[in-house]
Each structure stands twice: as C-alpha cells, then as structure tokens.
Chain A
Amino acid sequence: MRIDLLEDDPDQAEMISHWLTEEGHDVRCYRSGGDLTRALHRDVPDVLLLDWVLPESSGMDVLTWVRQSFLGRIPVVFITAQDSEEHVVAALQAGADDYLVKPPRRRELLARVQAVGRRAGAIQPAEVLQGTDPYVVDVGHRVISLRGKSVELTSKEFDLAAYMFANAGRLVKRGVLLERVWGRSQTITTRTVDAHISRIRKKLEIDESNGWRLISVYQHGYRLERAA
C-alpha cells in the first residue's frame, strides 16, 4: 500500500518507515501538517498515519482537514504518545479509524495498518489472484509474473494491473480506476490512466499470444478479458 506518515521526530519516522517498507509498503514521510496536506493535493495514499503533537498544526487539525476535504474516507491511524482516554475518544470521534499509543509495537502496527487498508478496500483479501494464468498476480508481494518470469512494474502500474486482473471480464470505468489506483487526487487526469494502461499492456505483453486482451471501450473505460 501507499502510506503517508506524518511524524516530526526523525528517530520515530525512520523506524516506522523501516517497518512498513520492510513489509512491502511504499512510505512517504512528512514532518509538518502543511507539507502533508500539500502532498495530498497531488496524490492520495491508501492509509494515513498521523502523529498528534507537531510543531505547527496538530495531527487533529490534519484529520479535521482530511475529513472535510475531497479526500473523503481515506483511512487514518493515529500513532501518538497522547495516551489518555480523552485523546483516544476525541480522535475516534473526529473520524480516525484506529489509534495506537507510542511506542508502537511493530507487529501490532503492521497488523492495524493492514486491517484499515483491508477495510477500505486497498488490500485484496487473497494474496494471489485466481484464474489469471499464464500470469501470477501476487498481491501480497506486489509482483506479477508471466510464465514464471516476474515483470518489472512501477507501484502504480502494479496497482492498476492487479485491479484489472481482479476485475477481469468487467468493464471498468476510467473514473473508477482513477479513484482506486490514484485516490481522488485532483491533479491526475484520465489521460494518466490511458498512459498507464498502455504501459501495462506492453510490459505484461497482454495480447492473444498470452490468452488475454485489454480492450478500450470508447467513452467508458477498459475491460481485461480472455482472448477467445
């Protein structure tokens, strides 16, 4: 998953980021609420991790902004040393999806991040998609291989390809792909989707020789389907 971490203490940011990266997540760290909110205008992550006490705006300020903004229901987890019942209740009532008191324990943090991502639909329940041969779409390890050979894809290309394979046979609208793969970023257009579709078609060699085709349905979207 793509995870944005708001943490002003470099010691903590480094360790949390290490844990998440080691687990295969793509992590971006921000030290202030301003930096994070500016980044969220460009690109929306799957999960947002917020510290509470920050030098400028607080984690609660950021949470309030997120819930009132175009970002909608992006999952938010607080990781904070604020350990009173009042703080936990205030954060959850303001729209946080989960709350961890520092110091976080590695496995618990990873499990909670996984859980909120799963509830939000960012993670497919199955680790490897079924019925995609000769491709193997390993969602857990974020790898797609063709006839046993892994194909090099960027993070977004993987997300897009995995989403198309998970919805094989269905017409998927560009707007849906934009939301599921890029989040609801205002600066990404459907042309970006078209460009990525073109790239995954080429990189994964999706054509009749491999038993699949990825077709464009004019003015609607794309369908990945078995070649007859």
Chain B
Amino acid sequence: MANEVIPEALRRRYIDSFPAKSAALDEAAQGLSAGGVEALSALRLQAHKLAGSAGMYGFDDLGHLAREVVHAIDAGAGLPVLSAMVQSLAAGLTSAHAAVE
C-alpha cells in the first residue's frame, strides 16, 4: 500500500482514532480475563475492522497483527496467547499515534 496516495486529512482522522481503538482493545482484553464470551465477540469485531482498514491507510503491520488476532480467535487460541497478541496490537496503535504527534 506504500504506493497509494492517501489524502492527509483522511489519514490524520484515522490516526486520531488510534487511542480510542487501543482503549477498546484493552477493555475487551480485560473482559476476556473475566471469562466474558461477549468480550471475545467484541474483540473479534474490533480486530476484524482494524484488519480491514489499517492497510488502506498505510498501516500494513497493524493490519497483519489485527488479522492474526482474528485468526487466533477463530482457531480457539487460549487466553494467554490472545492477551499477548492484543497487547501487541494495542501497543502498535499507541506507538503509531505517538509517532505522528
């Protein structure tokens, strides 16, 4: 996607949403720890959306991470594995946001 022209205003708005996306992932991960089925569903939905959008805005690595989370959930990965992946994804969002601030 590096060769794609991404309008700065759209890219900026997307990056500005990273803190909220990261917080939502954290919240879902905490819900997972509490054993919530709904939290797993919410986490999958958030990762699914991120997997779809990140690459369009030039954040291929984040998109790959998000897709791995989706695949891990679908494959029935355990809590420790999922938590680590979600933390990694949330950290990626935070650092990408910080990089442009």
Contacts and interface: CB of A to CB of B under 8 A. Distances in A.
Contact of A12 (B1, B7, B56, B70): B56
B97 interface: no
Contacts of B45: 53
B48 A103 contact: no
B71 to A, nearest CB: 9
B53 A15 contact: yes
B92 interface: no
Contacts of A105: 1, 4
Contacts, number: 50
A191 B99 CA distance: 58
Interface range on chain A (Cβ under 8 Å from partner): 10 to 19
A137 B41 CA distance: 52
Residue in B52, B57, B70 with the greatest tally of chain A CB atoms within 10 Å: B52
Contacts of A61: none
B88 interface: no
B67 to A, nearest CB: 7
Given A11-B17, A14-B10, A103-B1, A81 B52 contact: yes
Contact of B63 (A51, A53, A103, A106): A103
Interface range on chain B (Cβ under 8 Å from partner): 20 to 34
B51 A102 contact: yes
A12 B4 contact: no
A14 to B, nearest CB: 6
A104 interface: yes
Contacts of A103: 1, 51-56, 63
A16 B4 CA distance: 12
Contact of A15 (B17, B48, B56, B70): B56
Contacts of B17: 11
B84 to A, nearest CB: 22
Contacts of B63: 103
B48 A81 contact: yes
Interface in B51-98: 51-57, 63, 67, 70
Interface string B1-23: 10010110010011001000000
Contacts of B52: 9, 12, 51, 80-81, 102-103
Interface of A: 9, 11-12, 14-16, 18, 51, 53, 80-81, 83, 102-106
Given A12-B52, A53-B48, A103-B56, 15 more contacts: A11-B14, A15-B6, A15-B10, A15-B56, A15-B57, A16-B56, A18-B10, A81-B48, A81-B51, A102-B51, A102-B52, A102-B55, A102-B56, A103-B51, A106-B4
